[in-house]
Amino acid sequence: MRSTINGTFRFRFATLLAFALLLAPGVPAGATPDDDRHHLHRVVKALSAGQRDLAQRHAAMLAAPALADYVHWRLLLDRETDHPIAAYAGFIEKHPLWPRLDNIQVRMEEAITLGGSEEIALRVLDTRGPRTGSGHIALAIAWQAAGRDDLARDLIRHLWSHQELDEGLEEIILERFASILRSGDHEARLDFLLWERRGSAARRMFRHVSTGHRRLAEARLDLQGMRPGVDGSINRVPRDLRDDPGLTFDRMRWRRRKGRDADAREILLDPPDDLVDPGVWWNERKYQIREMIDDGQFGRAWQLVRRHGQSEGLAFAEAEWLAGWLALRFAGKPAEALARFESLANGVSTPISSARAAYWAGRAAAELGRGEEAESWYVTAATHATTFYGQEAAFELGRDFPLNPAPAMPAARAHGEEIADLLEVARSLCEAGAAAYALPFWQRILELKPDDPATVLHEAAECGRPDLAIRLGKRAVRSDLLDPVATYPVVRIEAVLDPPSKRADAPLMLAIARQESHFDAGARSVANALGLMQLIPPTARAIARAKDMPFSPERLARDPEYNATLASGFLDNLLDRYDGSREMTAAAYNAGPNRIRQWVARFGDPRRMDRHARIDWIERIPFSETRNYVQRVSEGYEVYRRLLAEGGGWYIEPVID
């Protein structure tokens, strides 16, 4: 974090602020919406290229106040420009519903002069709460000056034990608030820094804690740094601190990194009652469980997952499901499995997780001979007809469950005044060919209009960017505000809807494109996978050569028809290789054919398995990304197959920024 505690400000771009606040007076008479779209396009392009002077010239021509505010917003977020504190605080107070205000507040707090901050900044901190160390300190000083000592004390103590700080801010706290901080606060900060693996900051705390806690910290740092002589470091820790959960965790992790997995598992089988940070414990436990599953040590994996210690969030969903699956499929304990799946069903809410829990509860009940209970669970799962496990539950029941029709996209309706500016900015960015920059505004509108997600989705779809509509729709689905079918648009790309291939059909092309890029024809991954179907250039070049087509990296990245044509050829090759197995084809598309060869050798060939065993094969895939990918493509295939057969779905044209 950049510290500006000396109170100086840099005004290299101060004129930008003046222009942003006073845009309207310079607008030519007779400016039209078309003029605004032109100038907004130029502004966005210039800002993206770092050409702020050019952006300023075009921004001065904008007529719509909301668009002038958008430019001001972009400049306040730009880390290459600095503004007076009042500019940041004033925007936050004037536009309390705009997106990314936390980021603007961080910029404001970085510019704060400790002990002499402007009243407007302190008002923002008091109203919204601080986000950085500087903000906490400034607010605490202001509260002390106002006689609110109890609030200042609690704020500083919480900051000290829960947040990373640079050395300068640490010294300020130690000087200004020495009377507030107790020995327990220093010990808590040291423990926090050790869990965060901040060695240098942890060592700065040694002079503030007892010898015993210093030796505990030294042992943990030696273990974290894989230094020699860790046994001696541990032996120097006082006996009353040797059961410290952090020390136990670092010993376990050290053993794993040394290749001593069996010794690491001993600790995981008998963990501390207080894990302090359950998430990092789960990451280590999950690694060991997956290693044992890969090695076929299912019974030992089940023993390891039984005391997972997770109670909420994704870690709980993963852990409780693994405990149930291993109990049912490999430990011969269907009653315990059913209890785990019931617990999972009560602890999750999204369609994917709910269907998963209910399907496996049905499987466990069936194993126990409870037919009616199993059917009830399957019905519960199958109501989530767009999910992998909902579809598997429908198969168990022997009938399809209807897809709720995608909601008719309504005509744009009037929105409340409170979001009018946000809507104007989002629409204008779409019309200006800068739809990607509209996403935070559509997301904020969706948060402010949770009762009307279909209309917000329609507005985003009007951008011609199905990826925006899908991303927004998934957020609404997770909050149970929108039927998932609404997140399955059909994009009018000929090579997708009528692929020039023998085996790859339209449902498979749509399912993979939706999963790979959300139908963003200009997508580019960190691994340099390009375009609609996220092909890497070497693969695309080989397919183009085989199909006697010219290869063009530029077209691969920008032309969805060209990209989909090559992808259909690649999918044809995979489907031929795997005898039409969509599970293996999807896994190979994501992880590569070489991985499939390894997994077949280790886990068996899913083409020779019954349906239940094929599901286990998918769940044994070592990579969580690929496991998820196969299930999402599989469910997407079924959704698109039915939508296309029934003439449903909603169609959209792709547009590239």
Are 507 and 591 in the same domain? yes
479 domain residue, yes or no: yes
Are 517 and 596 in the same domain? yes
CA angle 36, 41, 44 (to 5 degrees): 120
**For 297, phi and psi rounded to 5 degrees?**
-90, 65
475 domain residue, yes or no: yes
162 by Cβ neighbours in 10 Å (0-12 / 13-18 / 19+) ranks as: exposed
DSSP letter at 307 equals: T
Contacts of 164 (CB under 8 A, 6+ apart): 193, 196, 198, 201
**Residue written as tokens 């991954």?**
525
**CB-CB contact of 192 with 161 (8 Å):** yes
CA–CA dist 436, 454 (Å, integer)? 20
Are 494 and 425 in the same domain? no
Q: What is the DSSP string of 489-547?
A: -EE--HHHHS-SSSS--HHHHHHHHHHHHTT-TT-B-TT--BTTTTB-HHHHHHHHHHT
Are 627 and 514 in the same domain? yes
**CB-CB contact of 278 with 309 (8 Å):** yes
**CB-CB contact of 579 with 503 (8 Å):** no
Are 512 and 640 in the same domain? yes
Tell me the mean pLDDT per 10 residues along the chain, length 657: 34 35 44 82 91 88 93 93 92 96 96 75 94 95 94 98 96 96 98 98 98 99 98 98 98 98 97 96 98 95 95 96 98 98 97 97 99 98 96 95 62 62 93 90 88 79 80 82 85 94 94 96 93 97 96 96 98 98 98 97 97 98 97 97 87 70
Are 437 and 517 in the same domain? no
Quote the pTM value: 0.89
DSSP letter at 318 equals: H
Say what the pLDDT of residue 15 is.
Answer: 34
CA–CA dist 284, 277 (Å, integer)? 12
Measured CA to CA in angstroms, residue 547 lies from 294, 497, 550, 570, 573 at distances of 38, 19, 9, 10, 12
CA–CA dist 606, 288 (Å, integer)? 25
Are 523 and 475 in the same domain? no
164 domain residue, yes or no: no
CA–CA dist 135, 4 (Å, integer)? 11
Contacts of 347 (CB under 8 A, 6+ apart): 312, 316, 317, 320
Single residue among 487, 521, 536 that ends a domain in this structure: 487
Range of the domain at 459: 417-487
**Residue written as tokens 């942890």?**
202
Task: Assign residue 509 the CATH number of its domain.
Answer: 1.10.530.10
Strand partners, 490: 651
Q: How many domains does the chain have?
A: 2
Single residue among 487, 509, 529 that ends a domain in this structure: 487
Single residue among 487, 509, 527 that ends a domain in this structure: 487
Contacts of 431 (CB under 8 A, 6+ apart): 37
**CB-CB contact of 87 with 112 (8 Å):** no
Say what the pLDDT of residue 229 is.
Answer: 96
CA–CA dist 217, 362 (Å, integer)? 49
Three-state secondary structure readout of 413-476: CCCCHHHHHHHHHHHHHHHCCCHHHHHHHHHHHHHHCCCCHHHHHHHHHCCCCHHHHHHHHHHH
515 domain residue, yes or no: yes
**CB-CB contact of 182 with 167 (8 Å):** no
Are 644 and 515 in the same domain? yes
**CB-CB contact of 592 with 529 (8 Å):** no
Q: For the chain, what's the residue count?
A: 657
Task: Assign residue 470 the CATH number of its domain.
Answer: 1.25.40
Are 477 and 517 in the same domain? no
**For 114, phi and psi rounded to 5 degrees?**
-65, 130
Strand partners, 535: 530
459 domain residue, yes or no: yes
Using alpha carbons, select from 198, 206, 244 the residue that is nearest to residue 224: 198
